[in-house]
Chains A and B, each alone.
Chain A
C-alpha cells in the first residue's frame, strides 16, 4: 500500500508544481471532453428527431401488411381486420397504441384544381396516439369516428387545390375490380406536418366511410403498432409475427425505412471517429506537457532512482500523473457538457434553415440527446489512448541511468 499512496501523492503534487502548464492542459482536456459529449449528444439528437418524426408520420414501430402491399400499395392487396388472437397480442402492456388503416391512391378534385394523393382511412380514436395528424391540426376539427364523412387535408395540398375548411371536394379512387368510384367530401380540417412535403401526400377520412366507398367490407391495408421505445422493438416484433402467422408480412420500422436505420448505425461510427479525432488533437499537447515535466525533473528522477525507486515505479509515476490530469478533465468536461445539454433541453430552434432540415428529414427544433453509452465511450477512449500516449515520455523517464541523470545540468 505504501508505494501506491506515495505515487498518488507525488503525482498530485507534481501536477501542481507548474500550475500554469497543468491548468492550460486541463482546460484543453475539459474543452475536448465537453466537445466530445456535447457534439455526440447533438448528433444523437438529430437522428432521434429524424426517427421520431418519421415514425410519427405514420409507420409506427411495427407494421402488418398483405405480403404484396409494399410492392403494389393499392386496394387489391388488403387483409381482414385483426382476429381475436392478434387483438389479444396488441392489447398487451408493451403496446402503447395500434391503429388499422385503409390506404389507397386517390385523386382529390376541387372546383379549380386536382391532385393525386394517398388517401388513408383511419379510426381517429386509435390514430391519435400513433401518428401526428391529430396533434398537428391547425384549422377545423379532427375526424370524430370511423363513420365521419369529413376529409382532412394537408395545408399545402389545400393551397394547391385552392380549397379550404367547409368547402366540398370530390375524391376519385378505384375499387378492387378497378372501377372508378367517387364521392363528395366536405373538408373539415387542415393539418401542418413537420415535414411540409408530407402535407401534399396524405389526406385522411374515416375508415368505415372509405371501406363503404370501396366496397371492401371490414378489410384493411395496414396495421401500425407503436411500442414503448423504438430502440427496443425486437420482442414486440417477434410476438406479433408469431400471432399473425405467415399469411401476412410483419416488419419492424428499421426494415421499412432502411435509410433511417442505417443512419442510426452510421451515427455510432461518427461518434467514435469524432471522439478519437478530438483525442488525437489533444494528445500532442498531452505528450508535450509530459515530456516537459520529465525533462525538468531529470535530476530529481535520477536522485529517486539512486535512492532505490525502481524504474517501474517511475514509469507508473508519470502515467499516474497523466491519467490524473485526464481524469480531472473528464470529470469537469462531463459536468460542463451535462449542464450545457440540460440548458438546451427545450431544444435549439433552427427554423432559419427549416426547409433544409426538412430535406434531410428532420424537424426544425434540435434537441440534444445525451446517451450514457457515449459518455462511457468517451471515458474509455480518453483513458486508454491517454495511457498509450503517456507511455513514451514515461518510458524515457524510467530508462535514465541514475548517475547520468543526477549529473545532468
Chain B
C-alpha cells in the first residue's frame, strides 16, 4: 500500500508545473466558492433578520385564520396573561403581546388609513427594532396612556409634529364605532417607506379600551435566540397553548412566505453559477490526468508485463488525482478561509447597494463563515475532480500490456 502511495506522490511531481497549474485551478475555484457561499449565507441571514425584526418576529401565536383574513374578532383572549404565562414557563424574555386594527388617522387637515398596533411598552423593545428606531421623541412607556408613535413618512403626509394630536376612527370588535384622540410622543424612521407610512403603535391597554377588545389581542410575538432554534421553540410554545381555543403558532415562513422563496429564487441562479465553475475545473483535472496517462502508456505497459495488475494502475491514477484534489482542497480552504475571514470582520460594499434598503437588505455585506460555507464548495470540487479522473483511470484499466509497450 505504501509503495502505491509513494509512487503516486512521486508521479504527480514529475511535472511540477502542470500539477501546480491544476492545483491552482482548484484553489482558485475553492476560494471563489467559499467567498460566494459565505456572502450568500450572510446576505440571507441579514435579509431574514431585517425583514422579521421590525414587526414580524420569529413566531406568532394567533387565532386560527387571522393570518389570512385579519378580522378584528379573530382575537386571542386574555392576550397579556397568555404572553406572561409563556414568558414565565419558557423563561424567555423575548415575548410580547399585540393587538392590531385598521383605522382612519386624522390630523387637523389630513386623513390617512393606517394599521394601528397595540403594544406592551415594557416588552415590545425586546422583540422589535422599531422602538430603537425612534428619531424624535420617545417610545411608549405607559400601557394605558393615550399616546401614539408613528412613522416619519406618515408624519410628513399628515403634516404633524411631535406633540400634535391625532384622531383615530375605526370599528371596534363589537361592531361599534371606535374613536379616540391620541398625542404623538415619538416618530420612528426605519428607511423602509412602506413601514414608515402605514404603521402606528399605541399602548396595548389603551388599544383594548378603544377597540372594545375586552382583554383580548391578536398576536403574541415570540423571538427565538437565533433562526436555527425556531422550530424547537415552536413545538414548545404549541404544547403550552390552552386547548380548545383555536390558537395556532405560525413561524416566520408562514407569516412572510415571500422571504424563503426570494432566497430559493436566488439560490437557483447561484447553483447554476457554481455548477458551471465546478464543471470547468473538472475539465481542467480531466485534461491533466488524461495527458499524464497518455504520456506514461509505455511505462504502464512495462509495469503491467512485470505483473502489476491493471486494476491497481487504475487506482494509482485515482490516488494521484485525490492527492492533487486534496492539495487544492487544503490550500483552497486555508486561503479562502483567510480571505473571507477578513471580509467577515470588515464587510464590503459595492456601488448601488445603498439602495438595497428597499428590499430589506443592509448597505454593507458581511459574509457568514462557518463550517458549511467553508467546506461545501471545496468538497464538491474535490468530488468533481475524482469523477473527472474516472475516464483516464478507466483507460489505464483496459490497457493491453503489449500494445501499450509499443505505443509511441
Q: What band does the interface of chain A fall in when counting residues whose beta carbon is under 8 Å from B?
A: 35 or more
Complex formed: what's the CA distance from A114 to B115 in Å? 11
Q: Which residues from B are CB-within-8-Å of A170?
A: none
Contact A116 B114, beta carbon cutoff 8 Å: yes
Contact A356 B259, beta carbon cutoff 8 Å: yes
User: How would residues 23 to 47 of chain A score, 1 for a CB under 8 Å from any chain B CB and 0 otherwise?
Assistant: 0110110011001000100110000
Contact B290 A258, beta carbon cutoff 8 Å: no
Complex formed: what's the CA distance from A172 to B113 in Å? 10
User: Which A-chain residue is minimally distant from B272 (CB atoms)?
Assistant: A39
User: Which A-chain residue is minimally distant from B360 (CB atoms)?
Assistant: A359
User: How would residues 277 to 288 of chain B score, 1 for a CB under 8 Å from any chain A CB and 0 otherwise?
Assistant: 101110110111
Q: Which residues from A are CB-within-8-Å of B25?
A: 281, 284-285, 288
**Minimum distance in angstroms from B343 CB to a CB of chain A:** 16
**Minimum distance in angstroms from B317 CB to a CB of chain A:** 15
Q: Which residues from A are CB-within-8-Å of B268?
A: 350, 353
Q: Which residues from B are CB-within-8-Å of A360?
A: 262, 265, 359
Does B269 lie at the interface of the complex (its beta carbon under 8 Å from any beta carbon of A)? Answer: yes
Does B110 lie at the interface of the complex (its beta carbon under 8 Å from any beta carbon of A)? Answer: yes
Complex formed: what's the CA distance from A113 to B112 in Å? 15
Given A284-B21, A359-B359, CB of A114 within 8 Å of CB of B102: yes
**Minimum distance in angstroms from B44 CB to a CB of chain A:** 12
Given A266-B350, A291-B17, CB of A356 within 8 Å of CB of B264: yes
Given A74-B110, A116-B112, CB of A356 within 8 Å of CB of B281: no
Does B10 lie at the interface of the complex (its beta carbon under 8 Å from any beta carbon of A)? Answer: no
Contact of B277 among A25, A281, A289, A359 (CB under 8 A): A281
Contact of A356 among B17, B171, B265, B279 (CB under 8 A): B265
Complex formed: what's the CA distance from A360 to B288 in Å? 43
Does B109 lie at the interface of the complex (its beta carbon under 8 Å from any beta carbon of A)? Answer: yes
Complex formed: what's the CA distance from A262 to B353 in Å? 9
**Minimum distance in angstroms from A330 CB to a CB of chain B:** 15
Contact A281 B198, beta carbon cutoff 8 Å: no
Does B111 lie at the interface of the complex (its beta carbon under 8 Å from any beta carbon of A)? Answer: yes
> Which residues of B118-173 have CB atoms within 8 Å of chain A's CB atoms?
156-157, 171
Contact of B261 among A25, A74, A355 (CB under 8 A): A355
Contact A353 B28, beta carbon cutoff 8 Å: no
Complex formed: what's the CA distance from A180 to B104 in Å? 12
Q: Which residues from A are CB-within-8-Å of B288?
A: 288
Given A113-B102, A160-B70, A355-B261, CB of A288 within 8 Å of CB of B280: no
Q: Which residues from A are CB-within-8-Å of B259?
A: 356, 359
Does A265 lie at the interface of the complex (its beta carbon under 8 Å from any beta carbon of B)? Answer: yes
Complex formed: what's the CA distance from A180 to B264 in Å? 46
Q: Which residues from A are CB-within-8-Å of B157?
A: 72, 74, 105
Does A127 lie at the interface of the complex (its beta carbon under 8 Å from any beta carbon of B)? Answer: no
Does A20 lie at the interface of the complex (its beta carbon under 8 Å from any beta carbon of B)? Answer: yes
Complex formed: what's the CA distance from A181 to B359 in Å? 36
Does A83 lie at the interface of the complex (its beta carbon under 8 Å from any beta carbon of B)? Answer: no
Complex formed: what's the CA distance from A294 to B10 in Å? 23
Complex formed: what's the CA distance from A284 to B285 in Å? 10
User: How would residues 16 to 57 of chain B score, 1 for a CB under 8 Å from any chain A CB and 0 otherwise?
Assistant: 011001101100110010000000000000000000000000
Contact B283 A354, beta carbon cutoff 8 Å: no
Q: Which residues from A are CB-within-8-Å of B242?
A: none
Contact B22 A288, beta carbon cutoff 8 Å: yes
Contact B287 A21, beta carbon cutoff 8 Å: yes
Contact of A280 among B28, B355, B358 (CB under 8 A): B28
A interface, CB within 8 angstroms of B:
18, 20-21, 24-25, 27-28, 31-32, 35, 39, 42-43, 71-72, 74, 105, 107, 113-117, 160, 172, 174, 178, 180, 258-259, 262-263, 265-266, 269, 274, 277-278, 280-282, 284-285, 287-289, 291-292, 350, 352-361
User: Can you offer 9 A-B residue contacts whose CB atoms are under 8 A?
Assistant: A31-B276, A107-B104, A115-B113, A259-B355, A274-B273, A284-B24, A355-B261, A356-B259, A356-B265
